[in-house]
């Protein structure tokens, strides 16, 4: 039986062996008996094998591909010389062979007598023509039967026929064999037709050729021959020969092997095989054989070379040797003869050695891959998969299956990165197949794991810890065997420096994490998604990846809380647990955790404090941790409409940062807003900022018109201002505030983020009319908040007090005058003037302010009242100029009024005159007069005339109206017509 080397890839496998001579009753006198082989596939199960012996016999065998059995059919004697070659004419059911310098023919089952083709006597080489299925690739499909040597044209070969090329002496003869009994009316032969019972033979063409041809093949238009001098291409149409390449003198005999299925030929130069196409052009790289081949065969993807009792299998594209099969010891059985079905799939190959025939079959792609995986040739297996997929011999589903199988083998071989890479290339592998490697059975997802053992090449899935332990034990076993002198084929690097258990386990978890992260983006069942996310959190926790844990928990996930909460709580990952609770809508539990972290925060994620700064660093990191916890809690409360929950956690958040508390209360993210009364009642009175900001939000953003809220807000602001004012007064005198110059009538408010508390109070007191002004006045009665008092008195309508504060307390003349303008009465100016001249309470008169008032508004005041009000003590030089201007202005206004009065009377008179003239106009109507609008004859009808002299009937007048002209559409109320008068001129 043949031996297959252990490290080889199993491309061919021996399926049967047969001794045709023992079965047929012949016993060979010498072991060198078989000279030629030929194969013909009859159907899916039967294959006919023709064996040519060196003593001139042709033996017919039948091989059953289903049962892998061979049977003897028949044997015939042809001559006493070797059967050089046998060719099968599948189309006409015959065989043609060459022996003892003549060509013979039998029917397929050797039942008819042998026929010699006499005109080929002396033939030394015989080759059958192989044609491409595409007619464009073969010119002889049109031209071969062109003018022959004697000028005769014949038509193209009929389907049931075969063509051959034979070398007879120095002549190359192209002839044809066809069945008898067919109609020959469409065939025009010029020469003699040779009839041999059931078939015809005729010469197509003949050419002169070189001497010494020992090998030949005919493909399409090209007849390629080999001599000791080289290989030559002869055109079957023109007979022109072209040298392909020459052979060196020291080279061996030429050998030429056609590959009809691929329309290629292999030209042998010693141990180098050059593959060319039908035109003699090289295709791809050359094949370098181990030694000079005795025979060559071809499968679909491989070239097989036989020599020295061995078969070497080479990949056609890469040229690498992938398998070696030892058939016999060197020199024990003579040269090997190889044959395969040239017209079929090429999966069956036969090799003769002495008197025995070995039947080899190409292993299926699945078996080849299995064999490589068993030998742990993972790269070779993947290369084979990619090659088969590229050629279309393997579906994408099978490729995915194999990638998953390779991944599991690599995983158990402790190559975790490569394993996951193959997992990711598999589209059919389910993430649940990884679950048993992470969590021991039984667990929540045990029933989801598919019981798929693939090809049974790897053990059942076990936890990663056990995988690593078993792998390390295997490495130790290999080390022991290596020390004992046993070559295990293991990697020397691993044996010399085996990895540690911790390194392997970390690598395994990291790569499984990588696979699960990619799997999260796949379309999976909900239960599988739960397993992926939950187990991913397990692995993050095992690697102590805080950031990844929190990122997964805070994002949209399918983690099962019940499986993780104990694990995370025991391991101290409370932040992750809080995020997880929040993502599942369990806000109450999440907030409880954030409260715990804020009160007793551990800064385990921060770096060690630098030397000498332990206390300060610890304090800073504690503040940072508290604020982070409060911030996360505030984000949850901003979206929560659970009032009880919000108010429950509001206090501790405000203790950390009042700004966060304000955000919680004023959030627009929640669907249902909180009850203002409940919120205000729950706010700690000490949290003044929270209280004020919430009231401000109710009033300004929510537009609340509740007097209670406005009053509460005003009182809160007032208290804060008083406290601030008192603190400042204790250190320095109060300076005039920029806010004291705010216009009392300006109702616009500014942002509370950019102005002081006192400015905020002043703006609110001016803009709101809903607060209780008297309550605020009672609060600031004893303070020096004069501007605020002025605003409040203004709200209460106490004008005198307002003027008194503005003019005497604040000494803001501009504000006082603007307030008088707002009142709109002259007596207000007189009151203000009186205050300036008689401030009382021992204060000096404010003559400059009084002069300013008279200068700005004296023209509108009664001079007599002003003179009566002026104090006798007022310096004359201050008031004289102002009084003179007042008097001149008074006289000027009087004269101007008289002029306007006279002009008005003149215009009135002119208007009356124009109206009279207009009404006094006469219009003459005669029999031909018509309405300018409807063109109806007026006759004795009523009519109307408009200022633009349009005359219309009464009907059109009523329809359009008295001020709109029905002819032009002009509206005389809007577009008045001015007619010149003695005073009014037309513009």
Give residue 752's pLDDT.
Answer: 39
Q: Judge whether residue 420 has pLDDT over 50.
A: yes
Rounded CA separation 746/624 (Å): 43
Give residue 898's pLDDT.
Answer: 87
Cβ atoms within 10 Å, residue 381: 24
321 neighbors 294 (Cβ within 8 angstroms): no
Confidence bin at 493 (pLDDT 50/70/90)? low
Give residue 155's pLDDT.
Answer: 36
From 164-173, 330-339, 357-366, the region with the lowest mean pLDDT: 330-339
Confidence bin at 975 (pLDDT 50/70/90)? confident
353 SS3 class: strand
Q: Judge whether residue 539 has pLDDT over 90.
A: yes
305 neighbors 312 (Cβ within 8 angstroms): yes
Report the CATH number that the domain containing residue 962 is assigned in CATH: 3.30.40
721 neighbors 761 (Cβ within 8 angstroms): yes
Pairing of strands 83-89, 94-99: antiparallel
Give residue 424's pLDDT.
Answer: 94
Q: Please name the residue ranges forming H helices in 135-183.
A: 140-143
Give residue 127's pLDDT.
Answer: 94
Confidence bin at 729 (pLDDT 50/70/90)? low
Q: Judge whether residue 243 has pLDDT over 90.
A: yes
Give residue 746's pLDDT.
Answer: 40
Distance of CA 152 to the CA centre of its chain: 70
956 in a structural domain: yes
From 248-252, 756-760, 976-980, the region with the lowest mean pLDDT: 976-980
583 in a structural domain: no
Confidence bin at 429 (pLDDT 50/70/90)? very high
Q: Please give the model's pTM, rounded to 2 decimal places.
A: 0.66
Both structure tokens of 948: 């633009």
89 in a structural domain: no
Confidence bin at 532 (pLDDT 50/70/90)? very high
830 in a structural domain: no
pLDDT in tens, 540-557: 999 999 999 999 999 999
579 neighbors 590 (Cβ within 8 angstroms): yes
Q: What is the mean pLDDT of the chain?
A: 82
Q: Judge whether residue 518 has pLDDT over 70.
A: yes
296 in a structural domain: no
Confidence bin at 284 (pLDDT 50/70/90)? confident
Burial 836-867 (b: 16+ CB within 10 A, else e): bbebeeeeeebbebbbbbbeebbeebeeeebe
Give residue 711's pLDDT.
Answer: 93
Pairing of strands 215-219, 123-130: parallel
Give residue 876's pLDDT.
Answer: 60
For 118-214, list the strands marked E by DSSP. Answer: 123-130, 161-168, 171-179, 194-196, 199-208
pLDDT in tens, 606-641: 334 444 445 444 445 456 788 999 999 999 999 999
960 in a structural domain: yes
Confidence bin at 43 (pLDDT 50/70/90)? confident
Average pLDDT estimate for 15-44: 76
650 in a structural domain: no
Q: Which domain holds residue 938?
A: 922-986
From 449-463, 857-871, 934-948, the region with the lowest mean pLDDT: 857-871
Rounded CA separation 177/92 (Å): 9
Average pLDDT estimate for 564-571: 93
Average pLDDT estimate for 719-747: 59
Average pLDDT estimate for 802-825: 86
User: DSSP assignment of 753-799, as one string?
Assistant: TSS-HHHHHHHHHHH-SSS-HHHHHHHHTTS--HHHHHHHHHHHT-H
Give residue 261's pLDDT.
Answer: 77
pLDDT in tens, 163-208: 999 999 999 999 999 887 654 444 444 457 888 888 889 999 999 9
Give residue 86's pLDDT.
Answer: 93
981 in a structural domain: yes
Mention every residue, 6+ apart, whose C-beta is less than 8 A from residue 958. Answer: none
Rounded CA separation 323/315 (Å): 9
Confidence bin at 334 (pLDDT 50/70/90)? low
Q: Judge whether residue 137 has pLDDT over 70.
A: no
Report phi then psi at 684, rounded to 5: -65, 130
Average pLDDT estimate for 69-76: 91
More confident call, 179 vs 754 = 179
The tally of domains found in the chain comes to: 1
117 neighbors 172 (Cβ within 8 angstroms): no
Give residue 484's pLDDT.
Answer: 78
Choose among 968, 973, 971, 972: nearest CA to 951.
968
Q: Please name the residue ranges forming H helices in 319-377.
A: 365-374
From 197-206, 220-229, 726-735, the region with the lowest mean pLDDT: 726-735
């Amino acid at each position: 039986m043949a031996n297959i080397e252990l490290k080889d890839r199993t491309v061919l496998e021996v399926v049967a062996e047969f001794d045709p001579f023992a079965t047929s009753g012949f016993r060979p006198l010498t072991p060198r008996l078989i000279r030629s082989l030929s194969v013909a596939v009859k159907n899916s199960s039967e294959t006919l094998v023709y064996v040519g012996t060196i003593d001139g016999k042709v033996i017919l065998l039948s091989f059953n591909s289903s049962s892998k059995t061979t049977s003897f059919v028949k044997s015939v004697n042809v001559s006493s010389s070797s059967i050089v070659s046998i060719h099968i004419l599948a189309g006409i059911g015959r065989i043609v062979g060459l022996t003892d310098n003549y060509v013979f023919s039998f029917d397929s089952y050797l039942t008819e007598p042998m026929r010699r083709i006499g005109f080929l006597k002396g033939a030394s080489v015989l080759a059958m023509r192989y044609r491409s299925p595409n007619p464009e690739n073969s010119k002889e499909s049109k031209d071969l039967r062109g003018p022959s040597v004697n000028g005769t044209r014949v038509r193209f070969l009929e389907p049931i026929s075969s063509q051959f090329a034979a070398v007879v002496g120095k002549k190359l003869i192209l002839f044809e064999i066809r069945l008898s009994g067919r109609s020959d009316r469409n065939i025009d032969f010029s020469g003699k037709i040779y009839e041999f019972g059931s078939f015809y033979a005729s010469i197509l063409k003949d050419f002169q050729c070189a001497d010494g041809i020992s090998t030949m093949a005919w493909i399409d238009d090209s007849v390629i021959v080999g001599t000791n001098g080289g290989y030559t291409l002869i055109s079957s149409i023109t007979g022109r020969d072209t040298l392909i390449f020459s052979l060196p003198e020291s080279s061996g005999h030429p050998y030429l092997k056609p590959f009809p299925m691929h329309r290629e030929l292999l030209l042998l130069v010693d141990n180098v095989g050059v593959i060319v196409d039908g035109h003699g052009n090289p295709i791809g790289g050359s094949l370098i054989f181990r030694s000079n081949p005795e025979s060559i065969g071809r499968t679909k993807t491989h070239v097989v070379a036989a020599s020295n009792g061995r078969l070497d299998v080479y990949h056609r594209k890469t040229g690498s040797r992938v398998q070696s099969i030892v058939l016999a010891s060197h020199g024990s059985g003579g040269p090997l003869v190889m044959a395969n079905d040239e017209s079929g799939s090429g999966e069956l190959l036969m090799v003769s050695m002495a008197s025995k025939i070995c039947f080899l079959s190409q292993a299926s792609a699945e078996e080849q891959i299995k064999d490589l995986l068993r030998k742990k040739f993972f790269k070779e297996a993947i290369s084979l998969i990619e090659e088969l997929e590229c050629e279309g011999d393997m579906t994408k589903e099978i490729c995915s299956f194999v990638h998953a199988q390779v991944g599991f083998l690599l995983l158990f071989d402790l190559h975790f990165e490569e394993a996951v890479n193959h997992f990711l290339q598999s589209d059919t592998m389910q993430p649940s197949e990884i679950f048993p490697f992470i969590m021991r059975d039984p667990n929540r997802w045990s029933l989801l794991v598919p019981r798929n053992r693939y090809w049974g090449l790897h053990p059942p899935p076990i936890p990663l810890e056990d995988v690593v332990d078993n792998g390390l034990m295997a490495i130790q076993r290999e080390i022991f065997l290596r020390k004992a002198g046993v070559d295990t084929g293991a990697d020397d690097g691993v044996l010399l420096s085996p990895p540690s258990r911790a390194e392997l386990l970390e690598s395994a978890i990291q790569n499984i994490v990588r696979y699960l992260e990619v799997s999260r983006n796949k379309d999976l069942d909900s239960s599988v998604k739960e397993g992926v996310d939950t187990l991913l959190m397990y692995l993050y926790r095992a690697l102590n990846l805080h950031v990844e844990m929190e990122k997964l928990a805070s994002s949209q996930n399918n983690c099962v809380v019940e499986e993780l909460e104990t694990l995370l709580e025991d391991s101290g990952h409370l932040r992750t647990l809080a995020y997880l609770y929040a993502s599942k809508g369990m806000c109450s539990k999440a907030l409880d955790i954030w409260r715990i972290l804020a009160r007793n925060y551990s800064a385990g994620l921060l770096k060690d404090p630098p030397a000498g700064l332990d206390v300060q660093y610890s304090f800073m990191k504690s503040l940072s941790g508290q604020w982070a916890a409060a911030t996360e809690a505030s984000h949850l409360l901003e979206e929560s409409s659970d009032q009880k929950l919000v108010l429950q956690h509001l206090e501790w958040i405000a203790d950390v940062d009042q700004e966060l508390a304000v955000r919680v209360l004023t959030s627009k993210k929640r669907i249902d807003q909180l009850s203002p009364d409940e919120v205000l009642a729950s706010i700690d009175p000490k949290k003044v900022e929270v209280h004020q900001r919430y009231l401000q939000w109710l009033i300004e953003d929510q537009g609340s018109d509740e007097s209670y809220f406005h009053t509460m807000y005003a009182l809160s602001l007032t208290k804060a201002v008083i406290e601030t004012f008192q603190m400042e007064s204790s250190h320095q005198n109060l300076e005039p505030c920029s806010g004291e110059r705010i216009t009392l009538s300006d109702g616009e408010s500014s942002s509370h983020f950019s102005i002081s508390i006192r400015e905020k109070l002043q703006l609110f007191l001016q803009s709101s009319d809903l607060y209780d002004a008297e309550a605020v006045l009672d609060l600031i009665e004893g303070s020096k908040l004069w501007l605020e008092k002025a605003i409040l008195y203004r709200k209460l309508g106490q004008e005198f007090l307002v003027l008194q504060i503005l003019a005497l307390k604040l000494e803001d003349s501009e504000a006082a005058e603007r307030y008088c303008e707002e009142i709109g009465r002259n007596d207000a100016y007189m009151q203000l003037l009186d205050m300036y001249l008689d401030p009382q309470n021992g204060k000096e008169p404010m003559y400059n302010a009084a002069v300013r008032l008279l200068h700005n508004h004296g023209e509108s005041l009664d001079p007599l009242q002003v003179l009566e009000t002026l104090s006798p003590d007022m310096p004359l030089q201050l008031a004289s100029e102002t009084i003179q201007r007042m008097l001149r202005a008074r006289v000027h206004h009087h004269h101007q009024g008289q002029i306007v009065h006279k002009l008005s009377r003149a215009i009135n008179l002119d208007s009356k005159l124009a109206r009279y003239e207009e009404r006094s106009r006469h219009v003459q109507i005669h029999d031909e007069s018509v309405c300018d609008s409807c063109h109806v004859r007026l006759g004795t009808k009523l009519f109307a005339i408009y200022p633009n002299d349009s005359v219309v009937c009464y009907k059109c007048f009523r329809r359009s109206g008295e001020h709109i002209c029905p002819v032009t559409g002009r509206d005389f109320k809007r577009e008045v017509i001015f007619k010149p008068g003695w005073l009014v001129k037309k513009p």
